[in-house]
Structure 1
Amino acid sequence: MPELDIVTWNPGPTVHLNPGGYPTEASPARRSSRLRRRRRPEERGKPPVLQFVLSGVAIGSIYGLIGMALAISFYVTRIINFAQGQLMMVTVMVTAELASSGYPVWLAALAGLACSCIVGILSYVIAVRPILLSNRFSFGWLVSTLGFAVIVENAAAYIWGPTSQAFPPILNGISLPIGGAVLTAQQLLAIVTAAVLAAGFEVVRRYTLFGKLGMATAADPEMASAIGANTTVVAIVAFAVSAVYAGIAGLLIGPSTFANPYLGDTFGTYGFIAMMIGGGTERPIAAMFGGLLLGVCAEGANALINSQASDWFPFIVLVLILIVSPKGLFSTSNPLFRPRRAAVTRG
């Protein structure tokens, strides 16, 4: 029987089989193949842990930005704008349309953010402010914001059609190898942008006049108005900023997907989960931490279980975390993250 040549899983030197059908002990290809198998866990169907952690941090940064957008509007009005995902979709659709028409990507992105900002302000004026004026303690905003989301989504489907469009690439052909894993330039841009925006809003919230006015408006709008704060302007600014945050998240996720009018449903849901996991209802920056945790868990489920696990696993994470910490993992009510107060000694 003649000797047979077979190629290992990694293209390279062939492994020679003896007449019994087994590699010979002296075969260097057999020894190198064993070494490769030990170094490459993906041969067993499991990707390296570092790879899905980095991918999870990248997509989690986008979830965190959408969660922060929800938390910013809630920070001032104590209302969750369920049309936040549709605001992200507006930026993506406008940017894709203008870029396909020949406009520079940066100009198309600015126009998309401006449109998202306008729609965000309209969401406050149409769906939120009337509820606050009638009864700020009612839950009518839940129906009104959901209704506004349906209107925006169907308007986008009427204007651009229900089919998907290609989104222009922002960064191409650049990747950063890290410990056997690969981080693309687009993923790195998402991580850095999310970190800068999260830190920037936290600085504004703590150390600027807008942060103090937002805190006062959320606590007691009547008292804030009595001391001279224009609560309507504060709320409009908060909704505009939250729309910009959602739009930036759309620009970061756009190159990895397609632009379509229903894009906001999925990412709006993940943003809401990120806010609830992190505790963004108390601290907006906690929504970013919740998004990072959500992204890593979703990518881990996708890599270690199956591709459908990333659709349902985030909801399991949400339920488990809310059982342990009902206001979120990083909320101030969690004893691990509760601000410490200086002890008062009595003389």
Structure 2
Amino acid sequence: MDDLQLIAAALSMGSIYALIGLAFTIIYAASRIMNFAQGELVMLGGLLGVTLVDTNLPYPIAFLVTIATVGAGAGFFGRFMVQPLLERRASMSVIVVLTIATALFLQHGAALVWGKSERFFASPFGGDLVAIGAINFDPQHFVILGTTLLALAATWYFYQRTRIGRSFQAVAINREAASLIGVDPNRATIVAFAVSGSLSAAAGVLFSPLSYATPYMGMSLGLKGIAAAIVGGLGNPTGAVVGGFLIAILELLGATYLSAEYRDAIAFLIMMLVLVIRPAGIAGSAQSFRERYA
């Protein structure tokens, strides 16, 4: 791959990792829950999006129906599966096991519904490359990047500039104390799961035209999204986006100059190094990390 062309690939994959990392962060920021089923929500978005487009439904409508459906399903999961455990003060390890079991259930369930073959649909934005200098971009790259930046801006505004957003952060710090000042912890959890599910589904729909959709696509993408969130700093939306682009750039450089076989290993090696050297993440602070885990 040409050195300059790496930029186009990094923009595309970095945006996908960042969007998934942002979705993971939204749940974590509101509940301190690490949702390991995040990748399977991406997978559901991709498969459902392909299915709807195959029925000749206009792409914008298919996109909206997909993110609404997966978002509603994620909200349902938050309300009826996660919320009862939180109310019973179950340990986070129990909830993590629940999300892992859910991921496996969704993966195998999707294989039964859609089959194990790869599904693909052409980008609705055309296949003609856009040349900017010496770099050729697929129009889909710009759509993915724009969606990621828009999601980041909306998330930042919600948590920093709205009353309900700040109240959601209070729930994550102390659910009981938040309820005493009139904040509904249940609502925060449900909304976080629903929004996170919608963002993950969006990532799946946007990624499928560049690759393909399969019941087994979620695990790798989900883990790299989680890696992006950890590298950037858990609970930090901006950090998740930065982490996504950093992982994409470094893994593409490794695949180009070493071997494509090292691509996945590089992503997780970065996460391991950050956890050991700077547990708060590259965009986090040691003080906020101590407060978060005190």
Q: Report the TM-score, using the length of structure 2 for normalisation.
A: 0.92
TM-aligned CA distance change 1:192 to 1:274, over 3 Å:
same
Is 1:252–2:252 an aligned residue pair?
no
Secondary structure at the aligned position of 2:137 is classed as: strand
- Residue type at the aligned position of 1:304: Y
Is 1:288–2:241 an aligned residue pair?
yes
Is 1:315–2:255 an aligned residue pair?
no
Cα distance in 2 between the residues matched to 1:334 and 1:304: 38
Is 1:90–2:44 an aligned residue pair?
yes
Q: Deviations over 1:178-213 (max 9, x none)?
A: 332212211122112211111221111100022111
Gaps of 5+ in 1: 1-46, 336-347
Is 1:265–2:209 an aligned residue pair?
no
Give the match for residue 3 of structure 1.
Answer: none
Cα distance in 1 between the residues matched to 2:185 and 2:268: 35
Give the match for residue 197 of structure 2.
Answer: 243
Q: Please, which of 197, 211, 218 is the counterpart of residue 172 of structure 2?
A: 218
Secondary structure at the aligned position of 2:286 is classed as: coil
Q: Please, which of 137, 149, 162 is the counterpart of residue 116 of structure 2?
A: 162
Secondary structure at the aligned position of 1:292 is classed as: helix
TM-aligned CA distance change 1:222 to 1:297, over 3 Å:
same
Give the match for residue 325 of structure 1.
Answer: 278
Give the match for residue 21 of structure 1.
Answer: none
Q: Please, which of 172, 180, 192 is the counterpart of residue 134 of structure 2?
A: 180
Cα distance in 1 between the residues matched to 2:195 and 2:224: 19
Cα shift at 1:334: 8.0
Q: Report the TM-score, using the length of structure 1 for normalisation.
A: 0.79
Cα distance in 1 between the residues matched to 2:92 and 2:149: 35
Q: Deviations over 1:94-129 (max 9, x none)?
A: 111121122222222222112211221122134321
Bigger helix share? 2
Cα distance in 2 between the residues matched to 1:62 and 1:333: 28
Q: Please, which of 141, 148, 159 is the counterpart of residue 194 of structure 1?
A: 148
Cα shift at 1:58: 2.1
- Residue type at the aligned position of 1:55: A
- Residue type at the aligned position of 1:142: V
- Residue type at the aligned position of 1:318: M
Cα shift at 1:247: 1.1
The structure with more radius of gyration:
1
Decide whether the 8 Å contact of 1:274 with 1:287 is kept in 2.
yes
TM-aligned CA distance change 1:168 to 1:50, over 3 Å:
closer
* Greater relative CO (CA pairs within 8 A, separation 6+): 2
Moved more, 124-133 or 213-222: 124-133
Cα shift at 1:84: 1.0
Decide whether the 8 Å contact of 1:61 with 1:191 is kept in 2.
yes
Give the match for residue 6 of structure 1.
Answer: none
Cα distance in 2 between the residues matched to 1:163 and 1:334: 48
Cα distance in 2 between the residues matched to 1:84 and 1:72: 11
Identity, % of aligned positions? 28
Cα distance in 1 between the residues matched to 2:25 and 2:19: 10
Cα distance in 1 between the residues matched to 2:10 and 2:111: 30
Secondary structure at the aligned position of 2:178 is classed as: helix
- Residue type at the aligned position of 1:200: A
Gaps of 5+ in 2: 289-294
- Residue type at the aligned position of 1:163: S
Cα distance in 2 between the residues matched to 1:84 and 1:315: 17
Decide whether the 8 Å contact of 1:88 with 1:249 is kept in 2.
yes
Following TM superposition, the consecutive aligned residue runs of length 4 or more in structure 1 with deviations greater than 3 angstroms are none
Decide whether the 8 Å contact of 2:33 with 2:92 is kept in 1.
no
Give the match for residue 132 of structure 1.
Answer: 86
Moved more, 121-130 or 223-232: 121-130
Cα distance in 1 between the residues matched to 2:235 and 2:286: 9
Give the match for residue 27 of structure 1.
Answer: none
Cα distance in 1 between the residues matched to 2:90 and 2:174: 11
TM-aligned CA distance change 1:138 to 1:298, over 3 Å:
closer
Give the match for residue 291 of structure 2.
Answer: none
Decide whether the 8 Å contact of 1:53 with 1:299 is kept in 2.
no
Is 1:275–2:229 an aligned residue pair?
yes
Cα shift at 1:136: 4.8
Give the match for residue 101 of structure 2.
Answer: 147
Cα distance in 2 between the residues matched to 1:334 and 1:169: 45
Cα distance in 1 between the residues matched to 2:270 and 2:11: 16
Decide whether the 8 Å contact of 1:282 with 1:332 is kept in 2.
no
Secondary structure at the aligned position of 1:166 is classed as: coil
